[in-house]
Structure 1
């Protein structure tokens, strides 16, 4: 395959320009809190990104981009890796995270909305660096290129083709004739959620700065907090429940919110949404009962609060914590581990395999059992009263196989650290699924600093691959992708 270098360079220029613009609020934060070193680092980042970005866009205008379907995979994968690479500069320049590998890991975790961290003392970092760290969640939640198409309409239909490679979920719905309009509608809703949540959190006693940090992380379902003990720092049931509700909202298919405006009943008939809410309610009740019967909690309301919060946090792959759930009974932890393997809804900001894929996989299993009993029976797969084509079913089955194969191979690579099995497997599962905390040495009160540089690079790759739905990245390792003679 011959790569169209002009398209690739043009998109890199757009990416750098967008990152430069997005770093401006962090620079303002550094000025407000008089963080001189941080301000200088952001000036360097902004100047570098804007100058190079504008120069590239001048030489290779976005309106002239003509992208082939296969080009989109390479462009998106490189965009996300380069975004993580260059966005790590302020952390290294200020010495907040001296190791570039660690800073790269942190920003991969930020953009992929994973929330895994190598930081042992988060509160020691400058406020502007923590702002930039959490703002990366907000950018990565909806998608960097989706954001670019919203502010640079001239990318047009080519932008949709590229953005479809980074959108969480099996499909990307186009709600308007122009994809740039669709992007703006999505980001308008995204911003409304962010602003409303920030206001509600301030009503609960958070400062404006804290409210912004946690709004970025919640709406982007990322989970970075500016406190060492995460959301538990606030010890407020009001804040816990507000965040729980918004995590659930942002783990919902965003397209459903537009459907609800016109046809509310149809939205609630969506099979994925009903399964998503059913799982949250069922797992919350089971964990709350388990915590009470095991003696971990004596107050039913607190048990329900922490259970609902952690269930919402894990299934939406946000990764916040109100308590050390690694100290919970085995049954409760097993339920959380299952949630890590499910993920949120398609076309949401959440990670993981997505509920719709789980539903279709279950239907495939049921059909397989039925065909074993009645070989001549003609059965069709249906979802939301529509037929699931064989192509879609095959793609979902292939994804699920690749998902578990990635966890297996990733665990083998990480096993060289010599950590216990639970730590090793949960670290890989939480990175591929973009969840954040795992169990044992990577539990909610721990971090990933003890891993070797090799393991951090592997886990960084897995976070990006998981956020980009695996195939976008792994396709680049196939000889079929690079061989122009093979379709």
Structure 2
């Protein structure tokens, strides 16, 4: 275990976070907030710089980062960033409880969107900006940003990116890893700016347009007003955000191939086809189920499009309280919570590619049982899927189910409402935001006890980092082996 390199990289990450916190500090000056809010960011920036420099002042002689170090670096970076990121809320006394503030910031960085704040009107502009900006940073990945800005860690830092980028596989789109990170962030940033401009055309001011764009780009879903998107009463904003969420739920490699002229290759993407097909079928089924309760079919389609886009991409924005929809529609949305969007996007969930592969593996196993002597091969994107990949997919689903049930059991200690407990775990583990029952779109997670909030904070981190980095971090074997 290269502990010195782990400490060095985390130190650099904390210095990077200090730089990111300059933005909410500037916001506090622009909106002429009181000295406490300015101090809350100033103090934390100084603290981050001090700790960061102490951890990274000496460059390790051995710069190698292998798989184990990559997982540990990613896990600890997200935990440390969330812990320090929570401090401005505590110091400014807008979220006095550190557990609550940690939950809120973990929700931000993991682009979950679950919140413990019942009334956003009591939150300052600087803190509103910071909680939404964490969506933007966490959407593409904290370490991906670090590799894009500070690429000189190690020739083996690919293990870091593999541990953080969501999906069953990771591949560089250009020859150098740092160049891959920069390309992804350029595409991500330009798309976010375009979304901000589109929202400005909808009559929003720059502050609200930026925060809603951060939440959409990172598929996080922190709102600026109470009631999420509903208070805007704008069909234009609903449609822009619906399309925006779906767009950011696509694998960013698709956009890269389009940029370099490989449009046919980009659009002939198996995961993309299934992603759009599932969205279309879900919208059609829910509209058919709830259309009678709407006076306007267009309004119904708009609400369903928004809700499906939000849940499928694990964003968490809402224009309607789908907790009041018929059970059939709620079950569809619950299934979409688990599916998630595409691998290599900013969305959470299992990922469409992983679900597709698991279904193919199951059908292949059935065919093998029917014809034991037949050689059954599985292909994805017109390429054969190796036995190693098949095993990896199967193991992930088993571990996912075990961890999910363990967290559900822990949450059940503090609530006797199964729907609330189940959907709270589903919403946080899949990085969605609102669940159903008492954690639905019309409620918050504020009424849960501290133990449940800590468990769900772990769920958000495990879900965003695809479970194994967090399990490896807390495994005693990780630290015993040299």
TM-score relative to the length of structure 1: 0.96
Alignment partner, residue 168 of structure 2: 170
Alignment partner, residue 186 of structure 2: 188
Alignment partner, residue 89 of structure 1: 87
- 3-state SS of 2:443 partner: coil
- 1:192-219 residue CA offsets vs partner (Å, 9 max, x unmatched): 0110000000100111000010011100
Alignment partner, residue 274 of structure 2: 275
- 3-state SS of 1:105 partner: helix
Cα separation, 1, equivalents of 2:477 and 2:123: 45
- 1:314-337 residue CA offsets vs partner (Å, 9 max, x unmatched): 010000001111011111111000
How far the C-alpha of 1:24 sits from its partner, in A, is 0.9
Cα separation, 1, equivalents of 2:420 and 2:440: 8
Q: How many residues align?
A: 480
Cα separation, 2, equivalents of 1:446 and 1:393: 40
Contact 1:156 1:178 in 2 (8 A): no
Q: Pick from 422, 432, 437: which aligns with 2:434?
A: 437
Task: List runs of 5+ in structure 2 lacking aligned partners.
Answer: none
Matched, 1:160 2:177: no
Cα separation, 1, equivalents of 2:206 and 2:464: 29
Alignment partner, residue 75 of structure 1: 73
Cα separation, 1, equivalents of 2:477 and 2:29: 50
1:367-446 aligned at under 5 Å gives the runs: 367-446=364-443
Cα separation, 1, equivalents of 2:425 and 2:354: 20
Cα separation, 2, equivalents of 1:124 and 1:482: 44
Alignment partner, residue 252 of structure 2: 254
Cα separation, 1, equivalents of 2:391 and 2:440: 35
How far the C-alpha of 1:110 sits from its partner, in A, is 0.6
Alignment partner, residue 48 of structure 2: 49
Cα separation, 2, equivalents of 1:312 and 1:428: 20
Cα separation, 1, equivalents of 2:137 and 2:201: 25
Q: Pick from 330, 333, 346: which aligns with 2:330?
A: 333
Alignment root-mean-square deviation, CA = 1.4
How far the C-alpha of 1:156 sits from its partner, in A, is 4.6
Alignment partner, residue 243 of structure 1: 241
Task: List runs of 5+ in structure 1 lacking aligned partners.
Answer: none
- 3-state SS of 2:4 partner: helix
Cα separation, 1, equivalents of 2:63 and 2:87: 29
Q: Which moved more, 1:162-171 or 1:219-228?
A: 162-171
How far the C-alpha of 1:173 sits from its partner, in A, is 1.9
Contact 2:379 2:385 in 1 (8 A): yes
- 1:48-87 residue CA offsets vs partner (Å, 9 max, x unmatched): 21233234333236x9632122111111111111111010
Q: Pick from 351, 355, 359: which aligns with 1:362?
A: 359
- 3-state SS of 2:229 partner: helix
Cα separation, 2, equivalents of 1:157 and 1:238: 47
How far the C-alpha of 1:447 sits from its partner, in A, is 0.7
Alignment partner, residue 218 of structure 1: 216
Contact 1:313 1:319 in 2 (8 A): yes
Contact 1:26 1:131 in 2 (8 A): yes
- 1:207-250 residue CA offsets vs partner (Å, 9 max, x unmatched): 10000100111000000011110011111111111111111111
Cα separation, 1, equivalents of 2:200 and 2:353: 35
Cα separation, 1, equivalents of 2:153 and 2:254: 26
Matched, 1:462 2:459: yes
Kindly tell me: are residues 247 and 100 of structure 1, through their superposed partners in 2, closer, same or farther at Cα, counting changes over 3 Å? same
- 3-state SS of 2:95 partner: coil
Alignment partner, residue 59 of structure 2: 60
Q: Which moved more, 1:473-482 or 1:166-175?
A: 473-482
Cα separation, 1, equivalents of 2:5 and 2:398: 32
How far the C-alpha of 1:133 sits from its partner, in A, is 0.3
- 3-state SS of 1:347 partner: coil
How far the C-alpha of 1:483 sits from its partner, in A, is 4.4
- 3-state SS of 1:341 partner: helix
TM-score relative to the length of structure 2: 0.97
- 3-state SS of 1:211 partner: helix
1:106-121 aligned at under 5 Å gives the runs: 106-121=104-119
Cα separation, 1, equivalents of 2:416 and 2:102: 22
How far the C-alpha of 1:296 sits from its partner, in A, is 2.0
Contact 2:65 2:154 in 1 (8 A): no
